[in-house]
Structure 1
Amino acid sequence: ALSCGMTAADLAATLEKLKESSKSIGAHKRRQLYWDAYTKLASKANNLADGTYAFLKYSADVNADSPEGVVEVVELTKRQRGLVSGGSVDVMGPKFKPPEDPSSKTVLYAWSEEGKAQAAWDDLMHGEPVIYITPESVWVGTRHKRALCKNVGSPLKTAKDVEKFVGELKPDAPLKSVSFVGNDPPTVNDYNVVLAGAFKLDAPLPESVGHVNTTSVTEIYDYFTERKNGNLIVEANRMISSMLADIGKGLTPLIYASSTKEAAVAYKSALMKRVFVHESMGKFIKVATADGSVELNVIRGSDESKFGLFGEYGKIVFECFYRVDLATMGA
């Protein structure tokens, strides 16, 4: 849950109301879990200072017979609070007002469905933004937050109009940062610009600009993640082609593919620069994400016909910092 400026009493009352609504949940174990969550969240809320901007994170082992969780309070930094309270960034999610003051400007966002709470946290804290252009406006956003950058002005009627318009989009001019970590406005790349909504153009768009006929933020972001995934597959295949060319020349490898043993050796030896790996390799992804020392690119999907060389070579390819024979290191 994300509390945006509520008094302690209002926050606790809002959470208590959510607890009461959880009585309608059908499954006993699930109902018990929600009851425990909202009870502990409301209790923690009573101890917060009025006007606090903070995440309240409840976590529990859902596989336990009688799950009991713990609550962690993560207060927003000065930057995060400024983004949310100043109106420069819109947060999007299930929104609740104090039950005794429905006209209040303060609000609680609460994500409670299994899997969605963690996904919302990851999105708010680390989500990569998409740049999307509606017929009226330019936005930068993730699934759960967005910022209005500028109005489009004159309608975009031709593919060349779009190319010219996109070419003028620069970080901070006008593209805004929605990052909760630091000021990090996006830069236009091969996959992160999308036209969203109804456009009638005279010619097809370049591959670097996508189009989805909706202004639903969720659908726009789903489309963006598909474009990003396709781009990652292209880059992974490009790396494997480079590896095969080096093998043909008899060169000491810079790029390796297919072997998780080689990947483990390179990773533990701090030789791995970047890696493209399929989402099925969860253990490696978890370790690499927590460590943060490697550029990690996770490729998703189950349709291997779209993977090309990446699928043929074990769904993992990585680049080292320099040419090295990992076989001499136990791989």
Structure 2
Amino acid sequence: MRSRPVYMLIAAVLFIVVLSACGTSGAEKERQAAEGKVRIITSFFPLADFARNIGGERVYVSNLVPSGVEPHDWSPKSRDMENIAEGQLFLYNGAGFEGWVDDFLSTMPKDSKLITVEASKGISLISAEEEEHADEHAEEGNTHSDSAGNVNHNSEHEHDLSTDPHTWSSPASALIMGENIKNALVKADPAHQGEYEENWASYKEKLTSLHEQFKTKLAATVKKDIVVSHHAFGYLCRDYGLRQVSIMGLSPDAEPRGQDLLEIAKFVKEHKVKYIFFEELVSDQLARTLASEADADTLVLNPVEGLTEEQEQSGEDYISIMEVNLQNLLKALQ
């Protein structure tokens, strides 16, 4: 009986230890995991994937937008802003994609050591200016094609974007973005420049192979028109000789008018388009409605803005998703 207090003391100590471990905040766990590494904060999935491949074991990457969330619909909370400020590198796409970034950067203290990187810098951006009057052409019963080979019917519902921000949809653009990220890592951690250069050389080879596959295989297709739910493939179309017709605008919440859907259905029938493309992170209702109206089928064309939870769990990445995109494009364009 005398040993009972000892057992009670041991049990109490164990309870306190367990309780303490459970009480460790997510932020604290993240700080512990990032210790000794370059801490990178990214604004959405592709940049996180590029950074992990180029940084390797030397970096800890935190992506702001959770899996399953469409980044167009996401905006940062105060804690997200704090996380960015605590990082060493902040990677964002730019070109107007993250509407909140400029305000955030303007509030950063002058003595901040945070390195900010606009990953799309150096990419020849596609202007959205010509799309501002596309609705006038649609009312006349005509489609409007811009210099990048895009057709858009719903610009009056657009956000005030001056450029198409979806640079990463093209492997050719991804090569430029990867180079920018590698240079930023070397600047943040020059002591390990050799490792970053080596990692980038390996990843660049994979991206270059992907680019060549898109270039050669899409060049061989007879058809060049694709109908997509979201106007997110301008760079892919420009770089590989395709033309997109979009149901919605540069943002997936830019709803089309009934007249727009009728015009696109007419386009699908006249150009013998076999498939209407939809994406996983937004509703496919409009794409399926149009497909039914135009007697077409549906396929996924992923804008690679984020992963579903299932894709994240199965280890999907930018290259694997783009490979599936290429397969589906070839199927639709045969």
For the aligned pair, the TM-score class normalised by the smaller chain equals under 0.3
Instruction: Name the TM-score, length of structure 1 as normaliser.
Output: 0.27
Task: Please identify which structure carries the higher helix content.
Answer: 2
Task: Please identify which structure carries the higher strand content.
Answer: 1
Pick 1 or 2: higher relative contact order, CA cutoff 8 A, min separation 6: 2
